[in-house]
Structure 1
Amino acid sequence: MEEETAAFADLSDFEFFVAIHQNSWDKLRLPHKFGELLDGREPRELNLREAGGGRRQWDVEVVFDGEGHMYLGRGWDQFAREHDVQLGHFLVFSYDGDAVLTVKVFDGTMCRRHYKHDDDDDSSATPNSIDSGSKNSIYTGSKNSADSGINSRSSEEMDIDDAPTSQFTVMLRQCHLGARQKQYLNVPVEFQNAHEYHKRSGVVLRMRGKSWPVNLKRSLRAGGNPRMSLRYGWHQFCVDNRLDVGDTCFFRALRGGDADRGEDHVLKVEVRRRDGTFAD
């Protein structure tokens, strides 16, 4: 495996998304860009690891068809079965080094799945999961962060990457892009609670090296529970980045932002267009 592992030396920050929209149990096609970057140094196998799942890894065969498409083959079916991967699920892959792909599974509600593991032998994951986050939409795609900075893990990003409160995803609808004074984007309850949004008046959205201050508006949901929304300033962010219905925004909390000390809470934003390309 030494020679195969070396093939990934320059891909330590590579991340991509795959949607399960057809029968993908025997093999799973990976983004063409990922295969291209291997540049003739294709491995015979990879190790899959579920994010937050301990030391357990699944050895998975890598196969290429006659057209150069890259697939996860033998061994993928076992990982998919043990994690109850189904149609409509979304998988987020990141390369961690030593030919290991870490996988996060999002189900049909667009919430991250967190699995229960056997603490004694750390060898299995039950298909029962706890869905966390909000019912927002996630889409699929691939992007090399070494080229663009998208999906790169900067030193100021939170250390709780596996926690459901570190990030959330929204597929934009008309309500997010309506008349200027009516545009809003609701923040998931778990996320706003974890970052004490009840103490804040605004956040800062950061994308492509630029920043946009956005006010938070507090309202009441059914049952009297509070809801925080991105309001004033959100319109300008949408205009400046040419956002449209069907685009998907990935929000990620950055380190810092102590509410008690009046520090800004900064959210790193990545946008995938509805045509599959990333905003640059």
Structure 2
Amino acid sequence: MAALKMARKPKQNPSFFKVLIGDFVNKLRIPPAFVKNFQGNVPTNFTLKSNSGSSWRVTVQNTEGSYFFCGGWSNFVEDQGLDSGDFVVFYLVGKSSFDCVIYGPTGCGKKIVLKTKRKRGRPKKSNEVTPSEAGASSFQKATRVSPGCRITRAPARRVINVGQQIVVVSEAISKHPSFTVVLKKYQKFSVVVPSSFAREAGLAEKRSTVIKDPKGRMWPLGISVGSRQVRLSAGWTKFRLENRLVAGDTLLFQYIRGTGNAIHVQIVGKAGYGNSGR
């Protein structure tokens, strides 16, 4: 059975991602290329569902043709404990709701601990949505896989094209170790693997491994182990070129035990849809 299963009735869910930098606390810009999905009819309100199991209503502001999450966004940021350098993927569900997957600066799924909890009997905030109103969240609680890396679960997805955008493929980040990389120009010949992932996958004890691309093709790669880091090296250039990867593309690496110990790679986002890859 394939390690990355497709949903029986997969839905085409457009998505975009943002690396939180600058003045992200009060507002967040929706990528112009993503706005085209609404065909000129952008909702004035959205519901954001996080992997913590809660939901928030946010308003959208149009400023000189650019659309921003504004009213209610700062509450989402505070309650989710978002910090500069965090990475958020937004999956559009329906016409006015987003499922949000949050990563820390390490590229690993971020464990969310709500900073504000409503006491029993206290009226809910205007921007807070109960599960009965928004629908049960499809996210599950974070699972610890190593001291520095927590992995979350998200809904099933499949690869779709939205303009030039490539969206997440699989059933999500599950109990398996994973990390994300926004490719830089200097990563043409190799890519560094986070130490927590390298430990989980046992890469430091290997001289080579195999990665599986979104099309199911297998690629043997050499492993270079240094005093402070582990790299995927020999074979990386061919993998990158054959999959047409460029600086700014975002990849999700996932290690799934019991499937030949291959590292599964998915294309989360393409250059120009949230990151420049400089």
Specify if TM > 0.5: yes
**2:87 matches 1:90:** yes
- Cα distance, 1:152 vs structure 2: 3.5
Work out the CA distance in 1 between the residues paired with 2:230 and 2:22: 36
Corresponding residue number in structure 1 for 2:193: 187
Compared with structure 1, are the counterparts of its residues 185 and 88 closer, same or farther at alpha carbon in structure 2 (3 Å cutoff)?
A: closer
Residue 30 of structure 1 deviates from its aligned partner by 0.7
Q: Which residue of 2 aligns with 1:165?
A: 177
Q: CA deviation at 1:78?
A: 1.1
Aligned residue in 2 for 1:206: 213
Partners of 2:91 and 2:77 lie apart in 1 by 17
Change (3 A) 1:239 1:274: same
The aligned amino acid for 1:206 is D
Give the secondary structure class of the aligned counterpart of 1:232.
Answer: coil
Structure 1 pair 269–212 and aligned structure 2 pair: CA distance change class (3 A): farther
TM-score, normalised via structure 2 length: 0.63
2-side partners of 1:158 and 1:85: how far apart? 21
Take 1:72 and 1:112, find their aligned partners in 2: how far apart are those partners?
23
Cα distance between partner residues in 2 of 1:275 and 1:43: 20
Alpha-carbon distance change, 273 to 99 in structure 1, aligned in 2, over 3 angstroms: closer
Q: Hey, which of these two has a bigger chunk of helix by percent?
A: 1
1:153 aligns with 2:154: no
Return the alpha-carbon distance in structure 2 between the equivalents of residues 100 and 276 of structure 1: 19
CA contact (8 A) 1:205 1:269 kept: no
Distance (whole Å) between structure 1 residues aligned to residue 272 and residue 64 of structure 2: 29
Matches within 5 A, 1:63-78: 63-67=61-65, 69-78=66-75
Question: Aligned pair 1:250/2:257, yes or no?
Answer: no
SS at match of 1:250: strand
Q: What is the distance in 2 between the residues matched to 1:99 and 1:46?
A: 5
1:184-233 C-alpha deviation (Å, 9 max, x unpaired): 323223323444545794213415x47351224263535xxxx6532221
Distance 2:172 2:25 in 1: 33
Task: Specify the SS of the correspondent of 1:268.
Answer: strand
1:101 corresponding residue in structure 2: 98
CA contact 1:112–1:131 (8 Å) conserved in 2 = no
Q: Distance in 1 between matches of 2:50 and 2:81?
A: 12
Give how far 1:75 is off.
Answer: 0.8
**C-alpha RMSD of matched pairs (Å):** 4.2
Q: Is the 8 A contact 1:113 1:132 kept in 2?
A: no
Letter in 2 for 1:113: K
Q: Distance in 2 between matches of 1:263 and 1:110?
A: 21
Letter in 1 for 2:63: D
Q: Which residue of the partner structure matches residue 6 of structure 1?
A: none
CA 1:241 to 1:29, structure 2 compared with 1: closer, same or farther past 3 Å? same
One-letter code aligned to 1:32: P
Counterpart position of 1:46: 46
Contact 2:12/2:160 (<8 A) preserved: no
Match of 1:16 in 2: 16
Q: Which has the higher contact order (CA 8 A, sep 6+)?
A: 2
Partner Cα distance (2:213, 2:181) in 1? 15
CA distance in 2, matches of 1:193, 1:98: 41
In structure 2, distance between residues paired with 1:15 and 1:66: 23
Kept in 2, the 8 Å contact 1:132–1:164? The answer is no
State whether residues 249 and 267 of structure 2, in contact with CA within 8 Å, keep that contact through their aligned partners in structure 1. Answer: no
Shift of 1:82: 2.2
CA distance in 2 between counterparts of 1:263 and 1:83 reads 34
Give 1:13 deviation, angstroms. Answer: 1.5
Name the CA distance, whole Å, in 1 between partners of 2:33 and 2:56: 23
Distance 1:172 1:131, change over 3 A: farther
5+ unaligned residues in a row in structure 2: which ranges? 1-9, 129-145, 151-158
